[in-house]
Amino acid sequence: DVFQSREEDDRKVRRREKNRVAAQRSRKKQTQKADKLHEEYESLEQENTSLKREIGKLTDEMKHLSEVLKDHEKICPLLHCTMNFVTIPRPDALASCLPR
């Protein structure tokens, strides 16, 4: 039957078109997802670089402060006091330990 054959052909054409559009939509969605992931990756890389830089600065500051403390411990009267178990230190001893 020619009529049925034409209907089947029309259905196949519509099905193919529908499938083609769905495939296009799917590829577009995948591309958008990949673009979003790439942007997120770039952002995380920048944040990582910034955090590494901050770690470096904080490490340098910690080394400097450790040296300052070590130097201070050599001259601190509170650490050398024979009565360092006393809870209230003398004000004059404390004053010499405070930064000027």
Q: What is the DSSP letter of 81?
A: -
Task: Give me the average pLDDT of each 10-residue run along the chain (100 residues).
Answer: 86 97 98 98 98 98 97 86 55 58
- Token code pair at residue 83: 């009565």
Query: What confidence score (pLDDT) does residue 96 get?
Result: 59
Distance, in Å, from the CA atom of 48 to the CA atom of 42, rounded to the nearest integer, reads 10
Specify the pLDDT at position 79: 77
pTM: 0.57
Tokens of 100: 């000027």
SS3 content of the chain, % helix, strand, coil (to 5): 85, 0, 15
